[in-house]
Amino acid sequence: MQFEKDCSYHFYWIRVKKRSKFIDFMKNHKIETGIHYKPIHKMSLYSNKIKLKVTDKIANDIVSLPTHPNLSQDDISRIINAVNKWKNN
């Protein structure tokens, strides 16, 4: 895939149960994932005593999948197949 100057390549994240195990599963399939978002109320600048249970739950479930212009159609299919395999376990 060729780089498109009008496209905003950014993170694509999904929610999964047992995130650490999912990350290991993807690593075993040679697919790199990441954790890129932290709730603002957890950052030191905004830190306070507010408890945001739903926000914290979602933050612990999300994982970023590979997204960049160098992914081939085969790479994309492999990522999708691995996610679907995890989902069906």
Predicted pLDDT at 9? 63
pLDDT tens by residue, 44-88: 887 777 888 999 999 999 999 998 878 899 999 999 999 999 988
Confirm if 37 and 59 have CB atoms less than 8 A apart. Answer: yes
H or E element: which one contains 65? strand 62-65
- Distance CA(20)–CA(33), nearest Å, equals 11
Once rounded to an integer, what is the mean pLDDT over residues 12-33? 95
> Which CATH superfamily does the domain covering 12-87 fall into?
Aspartate Aminotransferase, domain 1 (3.90.1150.10)
Predicted pLDDT at 8? 63
Once rounded to an integer, what is the mean pLDDT over residues 14-42? 93
Q: Is the pLDDT of residue 7 over 70?
A: no
Once rounded to an integer, what is the mean pLDDT over residues 12-16? 92
Domain ranges of the chain: 12-87
Q: Is the pLDDT of residue 27 over 80?
A: yes
